[in-house]
Amino acid sequence: MSQIETPDDNKDFRCGMVAIVGAPNAGKSTLLNRMLGQKISITSKKPQTTRNKIVGVLDRPAAQLIFLDTPGIHRAGKLLNVRIVDVALTTLSDADLVLVMLDVTGANTDAESYLIEKLKEHRTPVILALNKIDLIPKPKLLGLIEQWSQAHAFRAIVPISAEKGTQVEALIETMAGALPTGPPLYPPGSLTDLTERFLAAEMIREKVIRLTGAEVPYAAAVTIDDFKEEKKKRLVKIIATIHVERDSQKAIVIGKGGRKLKEIGEAARKEIERMVDCQVYLELFVRVQKNWSRDEKALQRFGY
């Protein structure tokens, strides 16, 4: 990527890639959306919601932080999960700085131990964000700070609440100060390098995850079949397919009389309209592709 010129008097400007890594459900996507002030990474309480590397750009007067939001790192077994974790681990090599997010409620200790093992294979500086501090008493937080300061040579440990915004600005300042000096890589005002087409698919998948039962989320993928802008009408027409692995999952996504699919479509349409700032016509189809999450060709076609 070509560099963007900055004024000659700004020799101390800092810019770099920050990989946001952590166990599933540590709050990585919630933090990214909070820092950017806009939603570009989907979220839910179900693990492995994020499957791809999501790029977000944050401008500050003296720094540009380029965030790489990654899927949750854990000891994976299934082919889809192996692919997802590989995406996260390769990001460690691309980054100038690694931000590790840890859920202080202690739900993912094995995954976090695995992540620390992987960090020791890299020389990239690491900052630790202890997330969800609003959910534990202060004495426990102080104990965790002491515990994790001995687990790895973190450049800094910053307690935060990504959900409430507590100490997020302090975390941004700490990360900015740890980046190398250099000009910005993205033009001012850039938010992400992701296409609206990709983001629309992710927003649909988020609604599938949030609005269906436990059986469906891990078996769902979304492809955009058509994405047309009609600028004169201020209208975007989208046709998308929700892919599942079994007929029973298709029935859940469609719902009785098509009500669940309609609910998913309405929720996704409203979110996409906020993104594109115009009216959206969204048509959804549901297709069964048996065992796609174990199929190498299907994983490639769906972008994993």
**Strand partners of residue 126:** 98
* Residue 153 burial (CB count, 10 A): 10
Tell me if residue 125 falls in helix, strand or coil.
Answer: coil
- Answer yes or no: is pLDDT of 166 > 50: yes
**For residues 99 and 118, which has the higher predicted lDDT (pLDDT)?**
99
pLDDT tens digits, one per residue of 4-26? 554 445 678 999 999 998 887 88
DSSP class of residue 181 equals: B
State pTM to two decimals.
Answer: 0.71
Confidence of residue 237 (pLDDT cuts 50, 70, 90): very high
CATH of domain 196-301: 3.30.300.20
How buried is 68 (Cβ within 10 angstroms: 0-12 exposed, 13-18 middle, 19+ buried)? buried
Residue 177: alpha-carbon gap to chain centroid: 23
Which of 28-37, 57-66, 83-92, 227-236 is the least confident region?
A: 83-92
Beta strand 54-60 with 63-69: parallel, antiparallel or unpaired? antiparallel
Query: 122-142 burial, b for 16+ CB within 10 Å, e for fewer?
Result: eeebbbbbbbbbeebeeeeee
Query: 221-251 burial, b for 16+ CB within 10 Å, e for fewer?
Result: bbbbeebeeeeeeeebebebbbbbbeeebbe
User: What architecture is domain 14-177?
Assistant: 3-Layer(aba) Sandwich (3.40)
pLDDT tens digits, one per residue of 242-265? 999 999 999 999 999 999 999 999
For the chain, which residues make up each domain, given as ranges? 14-177, 196-301
